[in-house]
Amino acid sequence: MNLIQLSKKIIKYAKKLNSINLSSFRSGNISVRAKKKGINGFLITPSGVRYSSLKTKDIVFVSLKGKFDSKKKVIPSSEWRIHQNIYVNKSAAKAIVHAHSTCATAVSTHNKSIPAFHYMVGVAGGEDIKCAKYATFGTRNLSKNILSALKNRCACLISNHGQIAFGKNLDSAFELAQEVENICHQYINAIRIGIPKILSKKEMKIVLGKMKNYKKG
């Protein structure tokens, strides 16, 4: 896809963030790995613009070195450093979805990993879903904390903030963010009843092995 096509796809999914209540109004952000004039980087949603009014010219290109056109009327999302850090350190990341989804955000306020109460926590890549330590939004500290929580993972919660997921393309990254939100919803309901049974590390190792071929074909 060229940059215009990628921008259109970003806008499509940014609007979907709103339409399925994964993030409201201007919250959250979406990016796709891209190259512009031979420079490696990514396209990302802008800061402070309602997704319902987004146009392709509003999508911002940021190089992997963190450079972008400051003369544009719009600037990249305040969380662009998170995306930059993930793209630089995770070659498997081709697209990123960061959302302030209701259940994931609620669970994140407890600053704890989601244990293997359900085998589907494995979709994030490990035996649990980690929660990145809190830091002020838009800072390098938050970016570092998220990268740490994403060790051997492709999704995590962000303490007192929300969630983030990456994938081989925007479709898979968005679907993973939806999966994380659903898992958080189930977890909230599970702990309302009492303390849920947690699957063993041995069982989760089996699950993760089977998940290598999950959703293929």
**What confidence tens digit (pLDDT) does each residue in 49-108 have?**
999 999 999 999 999 999 998 778 889 999 999 999 999 999 999 999 999 999 999 999
Instruction: Give the rounded percent of residues in the chain with a pLDDT score beyond 70.
Output: 98
Residue 152 predicted with pLDDT over 60: yes
Task: Answer yes or no: 175 catalytic.
Answer: no
- The whole-number pLDDT of residue 26 equals 79
- The whole-number pLDDT of residue 216 equals 55
- The whole-number pLDDT of residue 217 equals 43
180, 154 contact by CB (below 8 A): no
Return the SS3 of 62: strand
* H-run or E-run covering 145: helix 140-149
CA dihedral sign, ordered 137, 141, 142, 144? positive
Calculate the alpha carbon distances from 95 to 34, 76, 124, 169, 188 in Å.
Answer: 9, 15, 15, 5, 28
Tokens of 60: 């911002």
> What phi, psi does 42 have (nearest 5°)?
-155, 155
Q: What is the average per-residue pLDDT within 38-53?
A: 94
Amino acid 105 reads T
Tokens of 50: 């309602």
Tokens of 82: 């998170």
CA–CA gap between residue 162 and residue 28 (Å, rounded): 9
Q: What is the mean pLDDT of the chain?
A: 95
CA–CA gap between residue 112 and residue 16 (Å, rounded): 28
Which pTM value belongs to this model? Answer: 0.95
Domains with residue ranges and CATH for the chain: 3-211 (3.40.225.10)
What order do you get walking across the sheet with 60-63 strand by strand?
60-63, 39-44, 29-36, 95-99, 162-167, 155-158, 131-132
Instruction: Give the rounded percent of residues in the chain with a pLDDT score beyond 90.
Output: 89
The candidate with the shortest Cα–Cα distance to 104, out of 172, 161, 28, is 161
